[in-house]
């Protein structure tokens, strides 16, 4: 593979993959915490709506949703999403639904005594969530969130089907130009591994930091 192919196709593709991962992860995190906390709400209606969202987006294909946002939505609303943002929406909404279950499970795992202590201190529901429940639940969310984030990174390869120039699409173009599948796809595997390894180490460091705030040591 020549330096020109690496510079003009592969490196920009890696950068687009990183951007897709960051933007989709930010949206997925907002959805996960919003829907996950709603799943523990006192109101049955709020819990039902949050559960309905979770089931719908867990039960649909991120790829089909991506196609729907790009090809079906524009005629309905009269404006066109660029492929990049259609991909971010599809990935963020889909993976956010999985993340919501992580948030719900971690919040429900906080001992009941902690909730009762917050009530005894006359804390409002939001104060109990912010000051009592989340500080104890977040460290337990990080390992499954790490796995989900790595899956999201690999899921960004779907955007190549919309013509977004991520690293997978760049690999396809390089293969067409060089007729050398082994080299470019081996490089692509290494790229995804390096990005995933960076995510894993970063999330591990975050886990150690959050648990250290609770006085727990992580090996």
| Length, in residues, of the chain | 219
Residue-level pLDDT at 204: 93
Q: What is the mean pLDDT of each run of 10 residues along the chain (219 residues)?
A: 72 93 96 95 94 94 93 87 92 96 93 85 86 90 95 94 88 86 91 96 92 69
Give this prediction's pTM: 0.90
Alpha-carbon distance of 105 to 113, in angstroms, equals 17
Residues 6+ apart with CB under 8 A from 138: 106, 210
CA dihedral 34, 39, 42, 45 (to 10 degrees): 100
Burial of 23-36, coded b for 16+ CB within 10 Å and e otherwise, reads: bbbebbbebbbebb
Give pLDDT tens digits for 169-205: 988 888 888 888 888 899 999 999 999 999 999 999 9
Residue-level pLDDT at 217: 62
**Other C-beta atoms within 10 Å of 43: how many?**
10
CA nearest 32: which of 108, 94, 125, 110?
Answer: 94
Dihedral over Cα of 209, 191, 99, 102: its sign: negative
């Amino acid at each position: 593979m020549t330096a020109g192919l690496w510079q003009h196709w592969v490196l920009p593709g890696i950068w687009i993959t990183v951007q897709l991962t960051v933007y989709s992860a930010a949206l997925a995190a907002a959805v996960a915490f919003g829907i996950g906390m709603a799943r523990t709400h006192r109101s049955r209606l709020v819990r039902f709506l949050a559960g309905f969202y979770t089931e719908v987006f867990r039960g649909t294909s991120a790829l089909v949703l991506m196609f729907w946002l790009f090809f079906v939505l524009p005629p309905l609303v009269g404006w066109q999403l660029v492929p990049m943002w259609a991909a971010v929406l599809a990935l963020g909404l889909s993976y956010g639904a999985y993340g919501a279950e992580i948030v719900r499970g971690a919040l429900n795992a906080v001992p009941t005594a902690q909730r009762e202590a917050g009530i005894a201190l006359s804390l409002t529901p939001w104060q109990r969530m912010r000051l009592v429940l989340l500080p104890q639940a977040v460290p337990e969310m990080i390992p499954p969130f790490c796995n989900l984030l790595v899956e999201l990174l690999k899921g960004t390869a779907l955007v190549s089907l919309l013509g977004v120039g991520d690293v997978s699409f760049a690999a396809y173009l390089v293969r067409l130009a060089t007729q050398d599948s082994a080299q470019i796809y081996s490089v692509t595997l290494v790229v995804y591994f390096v990005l995933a390894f960076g995510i894993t180490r970063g999330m591990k460091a975050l886990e150690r930091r959050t648990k250290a705030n609770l006085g727990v040591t992580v090996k």
